[in-house]
Structures are given as C-alpha cells and as structure tokens.
Amino acid sequence: EVQMLESGGGLVQPGGSLRLSCAASGFTFSSYAMSWVRQAPGKGLEWVSTISGSGGSTYYADSVKGRFNISRDNSKNTLYLQMNFLRAEDTAVYYCANGRACSGGSCYSDYWGQGTLVSVSS
C-alpha cells in the first residue's frame, strides 16, 4: 500500500524558515518524480515544486523561486521542502504527491499525502 506522510508544518513568523518532510512507502521512491502542491485556506490547488527521481532536476513556481528548495533522500524514501523567508501568503496546507507521469517538471499524481499546515503569522 502506498503511503506518504508529511510532517514539519506549524506556525512561523514572517521571514522565518520551516522544513517539510514527506516519508514515502509502498512504491519504488527513486523511480518517481515528486512534487509539493499547496492549498491556501479556501483556495484552489497551487503547484509549488517538483524534483526528478534522481534529484538532478528541480522546478519551482515563480512565487517560491529563490526562497524554497526541494530535495530528496532516496536512501530514506523521503522528500523535503526547505522554506525560507516565509511570507503570509505562503500560509497553506502543503501536500506531497508522486509524479505518476511527467513532462519536464509538470506531473500528474495518483498518490497524495494528507497534507501539513503551514501558518505564517506574527
């Protein structure tokens, strides 16, 4: 059974940092690109970042480029999102999702984690 479990969310002040993790199991993690998708309260889905299976290619939304860093540890089957210089508008539930099929950094996903809430507020 495929499982993806996010952790690391919480309340942080503007300008602060957080590191999200997504522990995956039930599939060959290194064979799949992985993505982070977020959803602000009451809003739609917003793609944040994607990393290739090897970790050699990364892609970012313009809204987070230069502030967020996606990485993965295939030996631990874990995906990360380092978020720096956080802003109020980064407040959202962050989902990790697999890349079932991708074209460049654009993937669709058939497995999603349950999400972790990041709140940026003073």
Partner 1 sequence: DIQMTQSPSTLSASVGDRVTITCRASQSISSWLAWYQQKPGKAPKLLISKASSLESGVPSRFSGSGSGTEFTLTISSLQPDDFATYYCQQYNTYSPGSFGQGTKLEIK
Q: What residues line the site for partner 1 (CB under 8 A)?
A: 37, 44-47, 59, 61-63, 95, 100-110, 112-115
- Distance, CA of 6 to CA of 59 (rounded, Å): 20
- Distance, CA of 58 to CA of 68 (rounded, Å): 11
What is the closest distance, in whole angstroms, from the C-beta atom of residue 86 to partner 1 in the complex?
19
| Identity of residue 110 | D
Contact 6, 116 (CB under 8 A): yes
Phi, psi angle pair for 54, to nearest 5°: -80, -15
55 or 115, CB closer to partner 1? 115
Contact 33, 52 (CB under 8 A): yes
What is the closest distance, in whole angstroms, from the C-beta atom of residue 75 to partner 1 in the complex?
26
What is the closest distance, in whole angstroms, from the C-beta atom of residue 46 to partner 1 in the complex?
7
103 or 122, CB closer to partner 1? 103
13 or 115, CB closer to partner 1? 115
